[in-house]
Amino acid sequence: MKTIPQALQVAPVTIEETLALKALGQGEATPFQQKLALALIMKKFSRAYDIPFIEGSSDGSAFLMGRGFVGNRIDLHLKQPVSALHPDEVKNES
């Protein structure tokens, strides 16, 4: 069996997470499934909260940083007011 490089490894995905992601993609996810799918993307796929360092592998570390960047952008857009991200386009925010 071939070993998967550490930079490409993903924590095991549960059947509930797979079903939630599929439902999200189809626009049919329940509120719980939406949160579960987002957590899957942020924690397991992008590894946004991990330390992106693989000893002896600058390429692997760089790859993890790229994955984490995607998660950080998602996190930024979830936490910031729309007016802060698009100041010229948003007049008032509700």
Look at residue 92 in the predicted model and tell me its pLDDT.
67
The answer to whether the predicted template modeling score (pTM) of the entire model surpasses 0.85 is no
Q: Taking residues 26-53, what's their average pLDDT? A: 95
At residue 13, the 3 state secondary structure works out as coil
**pLDDT band of 68, cuts 50, 70, 90:** very high
Count of beta carbons in the 10 Å neighbourhood of residue 74: 15
Mean pLDDT, the chain, as a whole number? 92
| 74 close to 46: Cβ distance less than 8 angstroms | yes
- State the Cα–Cα distance between residues 91 and 7, nearest whole angstrom: 42
Q: Taking residues 1-15, what's their average pLDDT? A: 89
Per-residue CA distances from 8 to 16, 49, 67 (Å): 22, 16, 10
